[in-house]
Structure 1
Amino acid sequence: MKANRLVAPIVLALGLSILPAAAQDYPTKPVRIVVTFPPGGSSDVTARALSVPLQKALGQPVVVDNKPGAGGTIAATEIFRAAPDGYNLMMSNTTPISLAPFMLNPQPYDSIKGFTHVSLVATVPDVVMVHPSVPAKSLAELIDWVKAQNKKVFYGSGGVGSIGHILGETFKKQTGLNIEHVGYRGSAPMITDLIAGRLSFSFDTLPQNVPHIKAGKLRPLAVTSRARSHVAPDIQTVVEAGMPYLVAENFIGVSAPANLPEPVLSRLHAAIQKSLDDPDLVARLRDLGLTVQKMSQPEFTAFVSKQVEGWAEPVKASGAKLN
């Protein structure tokens, strides 16, 4: 009996010493960042830009893995269920954290308690754009044009449950316009259809659309931020257009499964903060219309909580659902 009584404390002590050691040694293998949308969108661009300096900071390969679908909840659910060891991360953003969960019943995860929100990376506004065949040069003119059509007008977004979708439905509710949403599997195919004239207008994040705007393939009407974008200062804001209810900026950050060990969390947060000081990363994201922002880990968690609380009512009011 005495021998048995001694074994348990020894095993327990060994277990307790092994776990912190593994966490302290993090990372010892490649780290994966899951992106909730297809290649080409803001989250994907940010993840790939971040992976370069982050790989140097961590001393291990950083692999970007696109897993789109269901408003980003497929990827988010995978990370929610993953082991909290720091090797499976998510490029978290407004859609799968603040929007999509409110469009599903039951909700697949708790956006706050279900994750460790590690670090904010950047914020980016949406932009309202029209095909050049639409004569509108402002949101007010777009409203007048839609009303004059006497038929349903179609607008697009990067996906059902995206921030563009919610903004579109909010716009519809506030104006009473006869418009219908067309959701795509990512921004790239939606932009293709918009340029081809198969859609009249869209709500989409700014970065991937800047080249098309500069080339004259799409006409921007307003950005959904309170201040004008540094990458497109000639585009007025929705506030200037008299529609402050359309103010919305997508956040892009890094999140992990809940209960991430403190040594791993500290190492990961420090590595991301160091990466955000990389001038090449800052310049690349700035050129694409994103604004790099740094926060402490508790500040980012509080920021996400505020985002979730702030979007709950608009999402429910929009009536948007994920099937």
Structure 2
Amino acid sequence: MKRKLLSLILVLTMVLTVSTACSQKSEAPETKAETEKTQTEEPKATDGYPNKPITVYVGFSAGGSSDVMVRILASAMEKYIGQPVVVVNKTGAGGWVAWEELVKTVKPDGYTFALINTPNITLGAYDPVNPRNYTIDDFDLLANQVTDYNVIAIRKDETRYTDLASLIEYAKTNTLLSASSSTGIMSDDATVVEYFNMNYDTDFQVVQTAGAKDNETMFISGNTDILVANIADVLPAYKNGDYKIITIFAPEKSELLPDVPTVSELGFGDAYMFSARGYALPKGVDPEIKTKLMDAIRSAINDPEVINKLNELGAQTNYLEGQEYYDFLKSNIDISKKIYNIK
């Protein structure tokens, strides 16, 4: 009897064991699926962008035309991007302090972009004195905002010269100083006087500064002989009669300076010089983030209030993006290389 009872218990134990194992096998896939279903996915970098302030670098001194333009844009951008847009001035080397930091150290997360200016950024690699290691191909180009032509101004009580022709003649036998945010092909301001040095045997010397506002300060204080600047830099003083603008480096007269003749009209060649001001990111920003930032920049640049404010300052909006913007910058390289006879 005992033996039969033991055998029965053994059989029952084996049945229960097999049944439990089968039950575990059948339940396992279902449990795994439920677990995967309830797992929280890793948040994407684009989720919630932007959720903190955005920074824009300006490589020139506060108060200059580039700085003022960016601050107007930044203020307008905030309503389109939904976050504060903070302007940070990183001056030096004609903008290259800011641009090299953008390329080398800025995290490509869409929270930092920079103002870029021609010809400083387009011709940095061709500078014979201090060639830069980067070209426009090392940046992720966003959009151009304005194209601002160069002018030459003299003091209203100047007696050594009164117009461009007499200025050129005087500079052939006398050294004259002109301030610039950088030297040589690194700056549109410096390129203006280098154009005359190379083609008319003049002796203009460039004094390097941190930006347009410093250039004007040196000129007003008498530390430089002439002022080479962009229209936006001089328009308020022009309207007030603070100094005399003698020529503009544009293909035609400007509506903002209707009585100022072009260099070509005065017989000194077809010389067009300007500072085109736009924006760029470091390479590697997520395309979805770039699109969101680009949408805000586009909306801000083309905001009627922004356009009107810049017009009042003498900066005319010339919006370009994508391939059109890239081709525009490449054309600036070709024009400047021709002036400097760079092969």
Whether 2:238 is the aligned partner of 1:238: answer: no
Whether 2:218 is the aligned partner of 1:193: answer: yes
Identify the residue that residue 291 of structure 2 maps to in structure 1: 266
Identify the residue that residue 137 of structure 2 maps to in structure 1: 113
| Deviation for aligned residue 1:75 | 0.5
**Which amino acid is the alignment partner of residue 316 of structure 2?**
T
Secondary structure at the residue paired with 1:293?
strand
Cα 1:105/1:57, change in 2 over 3 Å: same
Secondary structure at the residue paired with 2:314?
coil
| Percentage of pairs with the same residue | 26
Which of 153, 156, 163 does residue 132 from structure 1 map onto?
156
Identify the residue that residue 87 of structure 1 maps to in structure 2: 111
Which of 60, 78, 102 does residue 37 from structure 1 map onto?
60
Write out aligned runs for 1:60-99 (5 A).
Answer: 60-81=83-104, 82-99=106-123
Identify the residue that residue 302 of structure 2 maps to in structure 1: 277
Post-superposition CA distance 1:7-27 (Å, at most 9, x none): xxxxxxx9xx858x3235422
Contact in 2 for aligned 1:156/1:203 (Cα 8 Å): yes
Cα 1:108/1:142, change in 2 over 3 Å: closer
Identify the residue that residue 10 of structure 2 maps to in structure 1: none
| Deviation for aligned residue 1:316 | 6.7
**Which amino acid is the alignment partner of residue 139 of structure 1?**
L
Larger radius of gyration: 2
Which of 167, 177, 182 does residue 159 from structure 1 map onto?
182
Structure 2, unaligned stretches of length 5 or more? 1-38
Cα 1:105/1:288, change in 2 over 3 Å: same
TM-score by length of 1: 0.84
TM-score by length of 2: 0.80
Inter-partner Cα distance in structure 1 for 2:341 and 2:89: 28
For the aligned residue pairs, the C-alpha RMSD in angstroms reads 2.3
Identify the residue that residue 321 of structure 1 maps to in structure 2: none
Secondary structure at the residue paired with 1:268?
helix
Inter-partner Cα distance in structure 1 for 2:94 and 2:245: 25
Structure 1 residue runs of 4 or more that deviate by more than 6 Å after TM superposition: none
Whether 2:328 is the aligned partner of 1:288: answer: no
Contact in 2 for aligned 1:115/1:259 (Cα 8 Å): no
Secondary structure at the residue paired with 1:294?
strand
Identify the residue that residue 9 of structure 1 maps to in structure 2: none
Cα 1:87/1:96, change in 2 over 3 Å: farther
Inter-partner Cα distance in structure 2 for 1:207 and 1:57: 26
Residue range with higher mean Cα deviation, 80-89 or 68-77: 80-89
Inter-partner Cα distance in structure 1 for 2:76 and 2:294: 13
Structure 1, unaligned stretches of length 5 or more? 1-13, 318-323
Which of 242, 248, 266 does residue 273 from structure 2 map onto?
248
Contact in 2 for aligned 1:33/1:65 (Cα 8 Å): yes
Which of 174, 177, 184 does residue 202 from structure 2 map onto?
177
Contact in 2 for aligned 1:92/1:252 (Cα 8 Å): yes
Residue range with higher mean Cα deviation, 188-197 or 165-174: 188-197
Larger RCO (alpha carbons 8 Å, 6+ apart): 1
Inter-partner Cα distance in structure 2 for 1:70 and 1:254: 18
Post-superposition CA distance 1:169-195 (Å, at most 9, x none): 111111101332222222222212212
Secondary structure at the residue paired with 2:45?
helix
Post-superposition CA distance 1:83-127 (Å, at most 9, x none): 221111010111431133322677444322210001111110111
